[in-house]
Amino acid sequence: MADERLWQRDKDGFGSGEYTSGPLAGQFVELTRLLLAASTPAQVLEQVVAAAYWVIPGADLVSVTLRAPDGTFHTPVSTGEVALELDEVQYRAGTGPCVDAADSGSPGYIRSEDLKAEKRWPDFSAAAVRHGYTAILSTVLMPDANPPRMPGALNIYSHHPGALGSEAQDSALLLATHGSLALAGTTAVSRAELESSHLRRAVESRDVIGQAKGILMQRRGLTADEAFDLLRRTSQDLNVKLAEVAQTLASRHSELDTP
């Protein structure tokens, strides 16, 4: 999953990558080309999320909500890990813009332009505001053309109240429609397929964290808990993911001065 800082760096440099600045119609033409070239549901979702982040005015954080046949929700793609937390708050509560937009009776979109004053989802709104997000727009996404056609949602968070107005809503609906059509041309979204890649990455992260802990335990005489706590504090102090800190230590420990 892309780190939010990297997405922001790319957004700041918008116009120099695959998406070029210019009229929205031209951007959707390019998106269509990229979606047609996507061969898996995961690739389609990544393209839709990237396009939403880059072209929708006010988009500061983007995620996709998918619902499994058993009714459970998950977030396979997002532009920042805080989206996982905010989406999960809604999944646990059974309500929220992401969940409501993915409901079979959804009007197509759910929007709140000021979460500080929002009364519909108190738990979610409080969590979003704590993280600095004060507006949200969720549009329905059809990830599977085959029965039972469990809807999902494209979720767009903004730091600014009122930033996700009618222009953002129209763009998001177009993006979700493009994405739904592209998904229909790929194999049906399988929860196991999408989660297997996350599981693999989770296993890899645990492995490298274990290596880093071992290095610290050997070189500094720490216990396993002390080594993990040191990695965690370093991650927080540097504002870098724990797995990245562990990877740096594991791959460059011979170069680092760790008395």
Q: Answer whether residue 83 shows pLDDT above 50.
A: yes
Least confident among 96-100, 191-195, 241-245, 252-256: 191-195
Output the pLDDT for position 239: 75
Confirm if 124 and 164 have CB atoms less than 8 A apart: no
d(CA 33, CA 31): 5
Q: What is the pLDDT of residues 99-150, one digit of tens each?
A: 999 887 778 899 999 999 999 999 999 999 999 999 999 999 876 555 666 7
Confirm if 99 and 73 have CB atoms less than 8 A apart: yes
More confident residue, 167 or 36: 167
Report residue 214: phi and psi, to 5°.
Answer: -60, -40
Output the pLDDT for position 214: 83
d(CA 65, CA 72): 10
Q: Answer whether residue 48 shows pLDDT above 90.
A: no
What's the mean pLDDT when you consider all of the chain? 77
